[in-house]
Amino acid sequence: MSFTAIRSVRSTKRACKGFTICFYRREIMPKLYVVATPIGNLDDLTPRMRAALEAADLIAAEDTRVTMKLLNRFEMKKPMVSCHRHNEENRAPQLVARMLEENLTVALTCDAGTPGISDPGHLLVRAAWEAGIPVEPVSGPSAVVTCLSASGFDAREFAFYGFLPREKKALHEKLRSIRKSGVPVFVLYESPHRVVELVRAIAEEWADAQVCVCSDLTKKFERIYRGVASAVADERIGSSNALFGQSAG
């Protein structure tokens, strides 16, 4: 079964006491919204993100508990199903079949940022396309771009690698591979207890590497460290998830 995308979204915007208001008309066919969500500060939720969530019949969330906090913050109530890396392979075809059968509009979310970018979501998006279901991305905050904007690195050309291998040998092999690629700037994700280890590994591979380590972006205790990797590794950066913009030049 296939469908032709119909432009059934009406976006009406008007100024009202400093707010922009978006309205989404109820879809007449199944549709998948890929909805970015705030990476820390919930006030970064845009009117368009909120409108997409409110227009959905169902939310497919990486972690329903995390998404529930967002919905509660903005007084929204929506049924949810989980769609995470451990169940997405089976959940995606089931959900698409349900969308077709029940004519559902679904909003796909991850815990923070954009689904499918080092987060679950791409399998559901792919399944929707293959079933002829229109997919609409609803853009929002990006940890990658936010880090790069604060780094001062020339990011006209960069590569994003997400999470690197945990095992030390594999980690160093991957870093050497990245270095040989010649990419001038690359961006990585890392978790709290491996932050310092990763910075030191970068320092071992690039003696003069410049890094920008961003922690708790957009939150009250946001921290950003920038400098030579060996020096940054000595900073107290291990208390939260971190994102790195690394300049190979």
The whole-angstrom separation of Cα 69 and Cα 112 is 12
CA distance 13 to 166: 47
- Given this model, what pLDDT does residue 138 score? 98
Beta-carbon count within 10 A of 146 CB: 20
Contact criterion met (CB below 8 Å) for 122 and 157 = no
| Confidence class for position 231, pLDDT limits 50, 70, 90 | confident
Highest mean pLDDT out of 23-32, 99-108, 190-199, 221-230: 99-108
Beta carbons of 243 and 40 less than 8 angstroms apart: no
Whether pTM > 0.85 for this model: the answer is no
Q: Give pLDDT, residue 243.
A: 62
**Domain boundaries of the chain, sorted by first residue:** 15-138, 143-247
Residue 154 pLDDT > 60: yes
Alpha helices in 20-85 (DSSP H): 47-55, 64-73
* In the predicted structure, residue 239 carries a pLDDT above the cut 90: no
Tokens of 69: 């906090």
Higher model confidence: residue 74 or residue 14?
74
Average pLDDT, the chain: 87
Q: Which CATH superfamily is domain 15-138 in?
A: Tetrapyrrole methylase, N-terminal domain (3.40.1010.10)
Number of CB atoms found within 10 A of residue 1's CB: 7
Q: What is the pLDDT of residue 232?
A: 87
3-state secondary structure at position 79? coil
- Residue 237, pLDDT > 80, answer no
Please report which confidence band the pLDDT of residue 248 belongs to, taking 50, 70 and 90 as the band edges. low
> And the tokens for 129?
């396309």
Residue 229 vs residue 2, higher pLDDT: 229
Q: Give the phi and the psi of residue 14 in degrees, each rounded to 5.
A: -150, 150
Architecture of domain 143-247: 2-Layer Sandwich (3.30)
Residues in the chain: 249
Task: State pLDDT tens for residues 5-30.
Answer: 333 333 444 444 455 555 555 557 99
Q: How many CB atoms lie within 10 A of CB 127?
A: 21
Task: Give residue 114's pLDDT band: very low, low, confident or very high (50, 70, 90).
Answer: very high
Q: Would the CATH topology of 15-138 be identical to that of 143-247?
A: no
**Which one-letter amino acid corresponds to residue 147?**
C
* Cβ–Cβ under 8 Å, residues 47 and 21: yes
